[in-house]
Amino acid sequence: MFNDHKKAVLLFIFFWFVVSLAFAQDAGKVINQVQKKYESLKGICAEFTQTFTWKLVDETQVVEGKICVKDGVQFDIDTKDQRIISDGKTIWTVNKVNKQVIVDNASNKTEDNPFLKDFLDKFVKNYSAKIIKKEGGESRQIHITLTSKTQDEFVRRVELWVNSKTNLISKIEQIDINGNSTLYQVKNIDTKVILSPKDFKLDLPQGYELIDLR
């Protein structure tokens, strides 16, 4: 009887391992398809909602805006209080409340932007991926969890929702080392928009103070 029980437990462990491995391989395939999709896009615009939840004090902040990205490196993120625009070399941060524009080099400042190519590259290299759920019907969403491989990452877990028909990201949630959550929800995605380099240059608005950190 004991041996039968032991065999059953070993069989369950083996089955769980095989299924988990299959989910991990499948998740890697989905992420690869998403990468290829975004790399193929010359331009993309979308509306988004960013919800930040601060766990320690149980506070939530919601920001709505619009983003446009060209060639995976040039971007324009516009919200009610702030606008961040980059041509890939220079980045302008416009504070609409204080009427200030901060100018800096764009290098090393795009890694954590969840709409850009570097974001996916980072998680492919440093995180383990696993499919949690596949939804059919009109939503056609694939829910993937990415977990940091080491304790060095500030963001420990990422929840990713991908539309299986378009291979576009519809929702991202990042959970950091302190348990804080940043959720991005995307809608009205336009992959046929025509964008030019001029769309990612900023002329100093009248009456704004310029702070150059380059």
CB atoms within 10 A of CB 46: 20
Cα–Cα distance, 105 to 212 (Å, whole number): 10
Assign 1 a pLDDT band (cuts: 50, 70, 90): very low
Instruction: Give residue 6's pLDDT.
Output: 42
CA atoms within 13 A on the CB side of 166: 14
**pLDDT over threshold 90, residue 137:** no
Instruction: Give residue 19's pLDDT.
Output: 33
**pLDDT over threshold 90, residue 190:** yes
Average confidence score pLDDT of the chain: 81
In contact, 45 and 57? CB cutoff 8 Å: no
CB atoms within 10 A of CB 166: 13
**pLDDT over threshold 80, residue 109:** no
Number of independent structural domains in the chain: 1
What strand order describes the sheet that includes 127-134? 127-134, 141-148, 155-163, 168-176, 181-190, 43-54, 59-70, 74-79, 82-86, 90-95, 100-105, 209-212
Cα–Cα distance, 179 to 174 (Å, whole number): 9
Q: What is the pLDDT of residues 74-107, one digit of tens each?
A: 889 999 999 999 998 899 999 999 999 999 988 7
Q: Which of 58, 60, 41, 42 is nearest to 50 (CA)?
A: 60
Q: Tell me, what CATH number does 61's domain have?
A: 2.50.20.10
Instruction: Give residue 146's pLDDT.
Output: 87
In contact, 167 and 34? CB cutoff 8 Å: yes
Q: Which two tokens stand for residue 173?
A: 């949630």
Q: Which residue has the higher pLDDT, 132 or 206?
A: 206
Predicted TM-score (pTM) of the model is 0.75
In the chain, the percentage of residues whose pLDDT exceeds 90 is 39
Q: What is the pLDDT of residues 170-188, one digit of tens each?
A: 898 999 999 999 999 989 9
In the chain, the percentage of residues whose pLDDT exceeds 70 is 79
Range of the domain at 80: 2-212
Range picked from 14-23, 43-52, 69-78, 131-140 for highest mean pLDDT: 43-52
Cα–Cα distance, 114 to 119 (Å, whole number): 5
Q: What is the pLDDT of residues 33-78, one digit of tens each?
A: 888 888 788 888 999 999 999 999 999 999 999 989 888 778 899 9
Strands (E), 126-166: 127-134, 141-148, 155-163
